[in-house]
Amino acid sequence: MFGCQAGRVRGRTRAEKKGLNHHWWQYLLLIGVILFGCGNEQKLTGEAGTMNWGVKVADSIMARWPDPLTLTNKGWEYTNGIILHGIERIYKKTGDKRYFNYIKEWVDHYIETETWRTENLDHIQPGILLLFLYEETGDEKYRKVAADHWASFANRPRNAEGGFWHKTTYPEQMWADGIYMAGPFLVKYGHLFGEQAPVDEAIKQTTLIASKILNEETGLLYHGWDYSRRAAWADPVTGLAPEVWCRGMAWYAMALVDMLNYLPESHPGYEQLLTLLRKIAVGIKNTQDPATGLWYQVMDKGDYPGNWIETSGSGMFIYALGRAVQKGYLDQSYWATAVKGWEGLQQKITVDADGQLSIHGTVEGMGIQVSVDKYLDKRRITNYPHGYCGVLMAASVME
The answer to whether residue 331 sits within a structural domain is: no
The C-alpha atoms of residue 10 and residue 34 are separated, in whole angstroms, by 21
* Burial (CB count within 10 angstroms: exposed 0-12, middle 13-18, buried 19+), residue 282: middle
The answer to whether residue 112 sits within a structural domain is: yes
Model pTM score: 0.88
Rounded to the nearest 10 degrees, the angle between the axes of helix 246-260 and helix 385-398 is 40
How many domains, the chain? 1
Q: Which of 122, 177, 226, 300 is catalytic?
A: 177
The C-alpha atoms of residue 127 and residue 81 are separated, in whole angstroms, by 8
CB 312 within 8 A of CB 386: yes
Digits of tens for pLDDT over the chain (399 positions)? Answer: 333 333 333 334 333 333 444 444 444 443 433 333 333 333 333 344 556 999 999 999 999 999 999 999 999 999 999 999 999 999 999 999 999 999 999 999 999 999 999 999 999 999 999 999 999 999 999 999 999 999 999 999 999 999 999 999 999 999 999 999 999 999 999 999 999 999 999 999 999 999 999 999 999 999 999 999 999 999 999 999 999 999 999 999 999 999 999 999 999 999 999 999 999 999 999 999 999 999 999 999 999 999 999 999 999 999 999 999 999 999 999 999 999 999 999 999 999 998 899 999 999 999 999 999 999 999 999 999 999 999 999 999 999
The answer to whether residue 117 sits within a structural domain is: yes
The C-alpha atoms of residue 365 and residue 92 are separated, in whole angstroms, by 28
- Domain range for 114: 74-156
The answer to whether residue 291 sits within a structural domain is: no
The C-alpha atoms of residue 344 and residue 338 are separated, in whole angstroms, by 10
The answer to whether residue 190 sits within a structural domain is: no
* Burial (CB count within 10 angstroms: exposed 0-12, middle 13-18, buried 19+), residue 12: middle
* Backbone torsions φ then ψ of 172, nearest 5 degrees: 70, 0
Alpha carbon 141 to chain centroid distance? 26
Catalytic, 177? Answer yes
Which residues, including other chains, have CB under 8 Å from residue 200's CB and lie 6 or more apart?
Answer: 269
The answer to whether residue 84 sits within a structural domain is: yes
The answer to whether residue 78 sits within a structural domain is: yes
The answer to whether residue 364 sits within a structural domain is: no
